[in-house]
Structure 1
């Protein structure tokens, strides 16, 4: 009731001004730095890399403007919502007082006996029905005010969730979909309309139709038999691909269970058939090449369990048939190289864990057949994580392979660091509140 809500509109004006200043910086950058890569005097792989990198920087300048404007819009919406709720709460208090109640600064309702004459007070005290009617009226008015306080608290949480979501980069234009190359950068697609942001779910709300709070999701698909071939390219830069397949059948089933911060998920996949593919690319993303051929049957089962920022997984896989593969790539997002050839049957087990966006895992395979494999990876994968790992194996009759991988998820690392900072701040506030309470208590001994 005492908050100066005009501070929200003042803050919104500052955010709008910030967006204008960022626009000036973006324009200067485009006219001076990025312009260098757009002429005819610079060509080749280095020019392509520069074009990509400079475009990514300008993308962030533009995304920063969009994010700032969204924050400004949300603050203006918050001002309108809070002003309305404050007015309704004030009106509810006035109505309660007019009905013969008192309302404390803490919002507690009581019957105002001071407005009664001595005779009326005596009548109420000696009339059980009169006392009961007073208690009923007090309870009703208390609920009336509490509901409006609750509405203001829920609106506060709604605004908080909207502001937090507006400044999280969803990377919708990343991974080949646009110029975004910064994981955890500015949000180019924020929602600036508070009414369109979903309300945060109450902690005690039921999830789905389950009384224990668990929510289940799942899907399954099956295809085949099928066969086909296709080719494409070269496209922008020099990029082309070709593939052919003859599929006997392919089936996949996956499901998940979640309850608050706890998550359980699993997937099962089976495939039988033959396929061959090859692609090569020389683009602004770097140089890549891959060729593979395989025939046989493959089955996989994987389970994951997580709570908050901690997640573990286990996977089992089986293959029978023949396969060969060679790949190599180098670019702005890392490098990879590998080769393998195998004929026979093999089984794989893998496991690992991730804490606050940093993960580690290992694989082990048993081979019955003949083959060899070597692989090294360093860079960003399609899942947005950075991967560092390797794998090596050999068999002549019997053998196997071992591998290890470390992953780094920038988005989760950033979120975990932010939550840790919030926790430290909350702890500091709690200590301060406790110290203030002790001071007040001790001081009261000497009053």
Structure 2
């Protein structure tokens, strides 16, 4: 009630003036710095890189103007809205007072007994029905005042959200779609209409409700025999602890995701049998500490990943699998410590991944096989081999072929070429 809303108009004028000054700087930059890359005196890779970077800088000067103008518009809209809501709140208070109520500075409504004559006060004290009517009236006026106050609070929150959203880069022109070369620059598409502005959702990693879990200690054993069309299996575990977390975020068309997993304990697992999909047997036992951290980036048909793992303990396994969607053979035995670094890229349905490990201990490992994902139809071919006594390591290679993505990429390329001719 005591805030000088005129300051919002003054601030808006300064933001508009700032946009004008930024326009001057943009013009000077374009006429002096950016033109260096546009003549015949400079050529080659460095000139091309400079042209891209200088164009991006000028883009930011332009985006800064758009952002400043949007902020000015939002502040003017806030002034108009707050002034109107304040007037409505003052009117509600005046109406309550005219109806025989008092309204405190904190907005609390009460019946104004001071207006009653001694005779009216005596009659009021001996009139239960009249007192009930007054209580009802007080409650109604209180709700009316509260609703007006609530409207101001909601408008205040809306203005705050709109201002926060306006200063976050929307990245519509980033990632190859325009001249924007930074994901955290000025917002060229800042919304200046307060009625259209929406709350900004922070770009922090968004995790699922079950994205971070902690379990253990725990111990157990499960087994299942051979059944028609199903393999038999067994699993035993003695977990000291298991901590896992995951999250993902989106920046325009770019998707970032990550996984982290830390485990300590001992496990024994296996499956065996003959089904309509093939025959196989696999057994694995391990005890010790494991750590895994992986990050992945995806943009359309392109993706890449990097993974870091560490292990200290002992492990052994043996695999023999043959079926319509998978063939795999391998064996492993190791005791000691190892560090794994892996990474890979995929584009248009074709991918390659490399794995490198450093071992301190004693053991050997080898594996070979291919597998088809029944859901996506993608094929994965992989091979790895390693040894240590006591120092050594392992190297691995994985190739991915996704026919569905390859067909889509080919169709997109054909469409793009067709649009060029059009």
Q: Which residue of 2 aligns with 1:254?
A: none
SS at the partner of 2:195?
helix
Is residue 399 of structure 1 aligned with residue 363 of structure 2?
no
Distance 1:25 1:89, change over 3 A: same
C-alpha separation between the residues in 2 aligned to 1:261 and 1:89? 41
* Shift >2 Å, 4+ stretches: 198-201, 260-265, 303-308, 311-315, 349-354, 359-370, 373-377, 393-403
Q: CA RMSD in A?
A: 4.1
Ranges in structure 1 where 5+ consecutive residues have no aligned partner: 202-259, 266-302, 316-344, 383-388, 404-447
Q: Which residue of 1 aligns with 2:108?
A: 108
- Answer whether contact 2:248 2:258 (CA < 8 A) is retained: no
Distance 1:174 1:146, change over 3 A: same
Q: Which of the numbers 293, 298, 306 marks the counterpart of 1:352?
A: 293
Distance 1:261 1:374, change over 3 A: closer
C-alpha separation between the residues in 2 aligned to 1:307 and 1:124? 66
C-alpha separation between the residues in 1 aligned to 2:96 and 2:209? 47
SS at the partner of 1:187?
coil
Ranges in structure 2 where 5+ consecutive residues have no aligned partner: 212-243, 250-256, 262-281, 285-289, 296-304, 312-316, 318-327, 332-339, 348-352, 358-363, 368-383, 387-393, 397-422
* Structure 1 segment 11-22 matched on structure 2, within 5 A: 11-22=11-22
Task: Please list the CA deviations of residues 402-422 of structure 1 after superposition, one character each: whole Å capped at 9, or x if unmatched.
Answer: 89xxxxxxxxxxxxxxxxxxx
Give the C-alpha shift of residue 22 in structure 1.
0.3
Distance 1:177 1:80, change over 3 A: same
- Answer whether contact 1:158 1:199 (CA < 8 A) is retained: yes
- Answer whether contact 1:30 1:58 (CA < 8 A) is retained: yes
- Answer whether contact 2:13 2:72 (CA < 8 A) is retained: yes
Is residue 362 of structure 1 aligned with residue 304 of structure 2?
no
Give the C-alpha shift of residue 390 in structure 1.
8.4
C-alpha separation between the residues in 2 aligned to 1:360 and 1:376? 4
Distance 1:197 1:350, change over 3 A: farther
C-alpha separation between the residues in 1 aligned to 2:5 and 2:51? 46
C-alpha separation between the residues in 1 aligned to 2:144 and 2:31? 60
TM-score normalised by length of structure 2: 0.54
Give the C-alpha shift of residue 261 in structure 1.
7.7
Q: Which residue of 1 aligns with 2:133?
A: 133
SS at the partner of 1:196?
coil
Distance 1:368 1:172, change over 3 A: farther
Is residue 187 of structure 1 aligned with residue 173 of structure 2?
no
* Structure 1 segment 22-33 matched on structure 2, within 5 A: 22-33=22-33
Give the C-alpha shift of residue 42 in structure 1.
1.1
C-alpha separation between the residues in 1 aligned to 2:134 and 2:65? 57
Give the C-alpha shift of residue 314 in structure 1.
6.1
C-alpha separation between the residues in 2 aligned to 1:376 and 1:360? 4
Q: Which residue of 1 aligns with 2:61?
A: 61
SS at the partner of 2:259?
strand
Distance 1:142 1:402, change over 3 A: farther
